[in-house]
Structure 1
């Protein structure tokens, strides 16, 4: 059943989705100039995932954080310089990882077709492969994004955080031309990955007096048994930097467990719980909890919409720094 579903979803094609992903993007841009681009990126992602189960979540989150600041222009990949703190060193991004996967793919492609494939395209392809190789859907990624030359940590403040309310989340998505449905669908990316205690500890240990916020100040929307397990993982005054919890019960597999856990009071982050505070988003949560196929199809479409956000103006030779041929 799972294999058949994956086969169905992997046939999703851009032209069949009726999407507008920007005039600069193409399905065959590299067909003659760098035909091995997809194989090179997939190989880099597959190799990394074989050694580190956290790579898939890292690449997906990286793509999201890139597109939500200045569009999908690989500005999140740029290193800080002596006088400029880059996006990757902004507070929401300090836990991003797996940059080396993009570096490895870029090195391979620069050796084969130098100056052709943008870092932004590599990141978009890598995020797609991370999802597909984790058991999720695949989709045809239009290419032709350009790499940006500006990366500012200060601009990461616009990224929606783990404590964002529904209104804050909706505003962040709508400001980028993404719908409330896209909000619910892309939040499903939390089926992959891990959150540190600091992202949710206020939900299990609050300053409220006992009785005002549930058991010992616990967020009353949480299942008591789930909260108890989180308390064991993140005790008060925890100092273990690696402590935390998977974002859902199958945090290395891309599936619809996230939505089913959310309905059961086992959503980890306050921003996850926020999806149940509005009738429209609650209905989408119910739909995707009931149908993994519906979620997979919607996820492919929403990733294409997000991936079509405006990008930069060059093809970097090195994803960590801008080219030196411009002022």
Structure 2
């Protein structure tokens, strides 16, 4: 009988992702820490009541964590005098909300010590803040464990000036599709951007000496005034800036995308049909956004005995790297 040899990398590519997904499950802490999700929700509700911008903060934290080494809470580790962490990487300098994660972790440790991972806290806090901001209410599997590595050199995130095709290659490397990418960027519905991320579009775009022709001139004038002050920031959704809805897509269809990559979603032939569908169908956006956030939460998740459950989210229990 002929024996067929299958390369190991093919076996792994087929089975690793489904295996991880199978080990994550909704209600993972129902026996070990029954109030875990309630404890997370209570803190998030309290913080959201005081500051609605935490939704954007958590979405950014979740994305920046999962896109580096996977959803392993490596973004939460503090740097030390001898060792820098992901927090020191340029793209993470404006990530915020760490103190909320710390408050949640303190409450969880008091209720059930060493049971709930910091990686799951990020995923659950993001879910709860999304719902509070008018986005979808959804269940997300838990059971992630915390990583033992946090290295700023690993941080390689798509920047605001990349093309749709360039961004897609980065998303594909994380097993995410074009539809996932366009949908997840809808999180910009509640985000802000600092002027240095888009100021080149306002006056001398790509050395032309003129504003970016793909931006609404009225928005160019508005943002020019905003960026004349320091520090200047602008809402990425110029209409429903604190509501997580599909209005972001209607804005970019009107050439009112603040960041270049956002505007290109509405112009690129590959992504424009998705933008059009999401712009006219709020229910589709909510369903797709929830599904994409759950899928993002599977990226590189540590399960079983991998990693650890940190006692404090900003430091390793063991000697990390």
Alignment TM-score > 0.5, same fold: yes
Residues 1:185 and 1:325: Cα distance change in structure 2 (over 3 Å): same
1:218 aligns with one of 205, 208, 211: 211
Partner of 1:233: 226
SS in 1 for 2:277: helix
> CA deviation digits over 1:225-272, x for unaligned, max 9?
11111111113xx5x12x110110222111111100000000110111
CA distance in 1, matches of 2:320, 2:235: 43
SS in 1 for 2:123: helix
SS in 2 for 1:195: strand
CA distance in 1, matches of 2:251, 2:199: 18
Partner of 1:253: 243
Partner of 1:196: 194
Distance apart, 1:325 and its partner CA: 7.1
Residues 1:33 and 1:201: Cα distance change in structure 2 (over 3 Å): same
- Check the 8 A contact 1:148/1:311 in 2, yes or no: no
Partner of 1:180: 178
Structure 1's consecutive aligned runs of 4 or more residues displaced over 4 angstroms after TM superposition are none
Instruction: Name structure 1 gaps, 5 residues minimum.
Output: 1-18
> CA deviation digits over 1:60-111, x for unaligned, max 9?
1100100000000000011112222111221001001111111111111100
CA distance in 2, matches of 1:61, 1:94: 12
Residues 1:21 and 1:271: Cα distance change in structure 2 (over 3 Å): farther
CA distance in 1, matches of 2:275, 2:288: 12
Residues 1:232 and 1:298: Cα distance change in structure 2 (over 3 Å): same
CA distance in 1, matches of 2:90, 2:300: 24
Distance apart, 1:276 and its partner CA: 2.6
Residues 1:202 and 1:315: Cα distance change in structure 2 (over 3 Å): same
- Check the 8 A contact 1:166/1:277 in 2, yes or no: no
SS in 1 for 2:21: coil
CA distance in 2, matches of 1:110, 1:302: 30
RMSD between superposed Cα atoms in Å: 1.7
Partner of 2:10: none
CA distance in 1, matches of 2:75, 2:29: 23
- Check the 8 A contact 1:72/1:311 in 2, yes or no: yes
CA distance in 2, matches of 1:207, 1:46: 41
Partner of 2:8: none
- Number of residue equivalences: 299
Distance apart, 1:28 and its partner CA: 2.6
Partner of 1:47: 46
Residues 1:266 and 1:32: Cα distance change in structure 2 (over 3 Å): same
CA distance in 2, matches of 1:121, 1:259: 29
Residues 1:124 and 1:217: Cα distance change in structure 2 (over 3 Å): same
Q: Which moved more, 1:169-178 or 1:20-29?
A: 20-29
Distance apart, 1:20 and its partner CA: 8.2
SS in 1 for 2:223: helix
CA distance in 1, matches of 2:92, 2:204: 25
Instruction: Name structure 2 gaps, 5 residues minimum.
Output: 1-17
Q: Where do 1:21-60 residues align within 5 Å?
A: 22-60=21-59
- Tell me whether 1:314 sits opposite 2:308 in the alignment: yes
Q: Which moved more, 1:263-272 or 1:159-168?
A: 159-168
Distance apart, 1:51 and its partner CA: 1.5
